[in-house]
Structure 1
Amino acid sequence: METYTEKEIRGQFGALRKILSKKQNLTKEVKEIRVEDYDGVIFVGCGSSYYISLIALSFFRELFSNCSEAIPGGEILLSPETHLKEDKKYLVFLISRSGESTETVRAGEFLKKNYDTTLVSLTTEPDSSLVKIGDISIILDDAREKSVVMTQSFTVMVAFFLALFRGWKNIEIFDEEMVDKAEKFYKTTRDKIKSLLSDRDFDHFVFLGQGYAYGLAQEGALKVKEMSIGFSEGFHSLEYRHGPKSIITDKSLIFIFPLFYDEEKRLAEELEDLGGKVLFLGEEWGILDDIDKNYRFLFWIPIFHEFGLQRALYRGLNPDNPKNLTKVVKLD
């Protein structure tokens, strides 16, 4: 029987198409925001939503000059003075799939009470606490999920931020044809991903990326942890040389999301020389250099979703019931 997790991984392309068909309406909800009116732009989330924040931050910084930062919800609550000034005005994106993550909701309430902010809530749930505290709410209900592990909504939220920021600059966004290419790529690589499990008895998983792909690396590592209870790590690609490579063995499987081909290819060769198996997810995997680098996440995210899923099934685990986890982290 197909799990919710499987259905939602497979369904992310359909969800993307629905979001694209509504992109004008989604952008309209925030079209009156003038980024230049703010001293800073902040992205707040927890867990996977924090990694969305990191990716959104990279997309934003490529296009805008405002001071900007991605901050976990708990950090806002415990150490706000490290990041915020009382005499500044902030545009704040609060990100939560459920809209109920306690630390994100409380961070929003704290910011609203203590700072000059406009809160933009991004969630899949229209009746959530996050919607109630937001000055503006963006509800991506086509990406709602039943599974514990965040999959399709992650992809859709990343795509939404890229579309939003490019829309503010009147830059074209990818279309359904690009989503079709990504889905075709996913279908042709599923067996290839599954075969990795019989290649070697891997027990160490590494995800590497630079630029916005660093957020993908963190999320990829998290998916393997959550779904398959695997020892996994995420790093900036070139940082992996500086200490972490010491634990590479022939049971290490390393995923590289290359935005900077030459330097990251050189790193891949170094790590292979140390005995690790490297998946360099560029042209060798059918992800061509002529694909806009900001669209490559459409091809990369389903790879680590599928790998986490297949490793869970291979180990006899139920991806809908991951160890020690619940769909929403709610605190008393």
Structure 2
Amino acid sequence: MALMKRRSSRPHERKAMVARGEITLAEINSQPGLWAEALQVFKAQAHEITSFWSTNAFDQIILTGCGSTYYLGVTGASLLQAATGTPARAISASELMLFPDKTFHNSIQTLLVCLSRSGTTRETVEAARLFRQFGKGSIVVITCDSSSPLAQLADRLLAIDAAQEQSRVQTRSFSSMAVILTALAAALGGQDWQSLDALPEALTRLMGRSESLIRHLGEDLSITQFAFLGSGPLYGLACEAMLKMTEMSRVFSTGYHVLEYLHGPRYAADASTLIAGLVSESAFTEEVQALKTLLSRRARVLALAEANSEGLGELDFALTIDSQLPEWGRAILYLPPLQLLGWHQAIQRGFDPDDLAYDPRDQPIP
């Protein structure tokens, strides 16, 4: 008989004690402190991880997870390949579980990076087990539960248990694992990963600076469709923002590469659409030009960018990140304001992000 991992405390059991959505809101706001802890987790193992990498000649890197953590893998693959030069890609754990022989080969030295908040996700645990059977190489696990079944399968474990949530919605767990993954990519690629120590303070500044705009857009019920756009490592974060908006507010949302949105999906945009563009530094000109063309659809356009550079003023809204970090180190900063956007939309529509109908952590452990 399959066992269930059941959390000891449920948001709906505490409804009389807290206001609607307050647990999720507190967890969103706790991210600066958790990011600092995540960096300490990585710092404690940085030397061992880099030695492990240098003594293994990996031919490829595969990142895997489900839902949010699959999108985290998409972002991580972009960062890891850019930093190390080793081919990296994200594959859904469900695909690896169902078709392991289509991906795993015992002739290819592979680093499998498994991502899971709970460490009990059935598909991800099974993908790791099947890798031992069909593949060749090592497993790195990034999770928020160091005692989980997935953690037990790791050759190298990076766990930030403090980032686990009471809410069913992944917010701080996702971003804390993203900080560890960003540090991992930087360290393996010889970049100055310790410059990421500036991330927590950069996030604190950003959340304070963005609060008014995010609240304004979050309380606007005339918006009935969201499109989140990003390229490179920002694409995975755009998809995660889409998922957060869908889970919390139940408003129709999509996630696309910036330029890909122009090839068909833009025709669904209208005056009731908010398009949020996560603008990169490397492709700034192309991406801003693409966002400008969307104004003709009468959609409202929000751009998030490192600096308030030329062209952003022509859009409806602009939010500057102003992190002063290298481009590879700042990606995760784009996400928390969009998490908060989803939270405001949910509360305004009468939904409770603390108490979704389904909790992905409640499932059989293989």
* TM bucket, shorter chain: over 0.9
1:169, CA displacement in angstroms? 3.4
5 Å matches for 1:194-209? 194-199=215-220, 201-209=222-230
Three-state SS of the structure 2 residue aligned to 1:285 is strand
5 Å matches for 1:1-332? 1=18, 3-34=22-53, 37-173=57-193, 174-199=195-220, 201-259=222-280, 260-282=283-305, 283=308, 284-288=318-322, 291-330=325-364
Tell me if structure 1 keeps the 8 A contact 2:64–2:93. yes
Instruction: Tell me how far apart the structure 2 counterparts of residues 321 and 219 of structure 1 sit (CA, whole Å).
Output: 19
Three-state SS of the structure 1 residue aligned to 2:277 is strand
Instruction: Give the TM-score normalised by the residue count of structure 1.
Output: 0.94
Three-state SS of the structure 2 residue aligned to 1:109 is helix
What are the ranges of 5 or more consecutive residues in structure 1 without an aligned counterpart?
A: none
Tell me if structure 1 keeps the 8 A contact 2:141–2:157. yes
Code of the residue aligned with 2:288 in structure 1: it is: K
Tell me if structure 1 keeps the 8 A contact 2:41–2:159. no
Three-state SS of the structure 2 residue aligned to 1:42 is strand
Code of the residue aligned with 2:242 in structure 1: it is: A
1:19, CA displacement in angstroms? 2.1
Instruction: Tell me how far apart the structure 2 counterparts of residues 34 and 200 of structure 1 sit (CA, whole Å).
Output: 49
CA-atom RMSD in angstroms = 1.9
Code of the residue aligned with 1:141 in structure 2: it is: D
Code of the residue aligned with 1:102 in structure 2: it is: R
What are the ranges of 5 or more consecutive residues in structure 2 without an aligned counterpart?
A: 1-17, 309-317
Aligned length: 332
* Cα distance change on mapping 1:197 and 1:30 into 2, 3 Å: closer
Instruction: Give the TM-score normalised by the residue count of structure 2.
Output: 0.85
Instruction: Tell me how far apart the structure 2 counterparts of residues 118 and 86 of structure 1 sit (CA, whole Å).
Output: 12
Identity of aligned residues (%): 27
Tell me if structure 1 keeps the 8 A contact 2:274–2:300. yes
Three-state SS of the structure 2 residue aligned to 1:256 is strand
Instruction: Tell me how far apart the structure 1 counterparts of residues 140 and 362 of structure 2 sit (CA, whole Å).
Output: 20
* Cα distance change on mapping 1:225 and 1:275 into 2, 3 Å: same
1:14, CA displacement in angstroms? 0.6
Code of the residue aligned with 2:330 in structure 1: it is: R
Code of the residue aligned with 1:179 in structure 2: it is: P
Tell me if structure 2 keeps the 8 A contact 1:29–1:138. no
1:273, CA displacement in angstroms? 1.2
Tell me if structure 2 keeps the 8 A contact 1:186–1:299. no
Code of the residue aligned with 1:94 in structure 2: it is: C
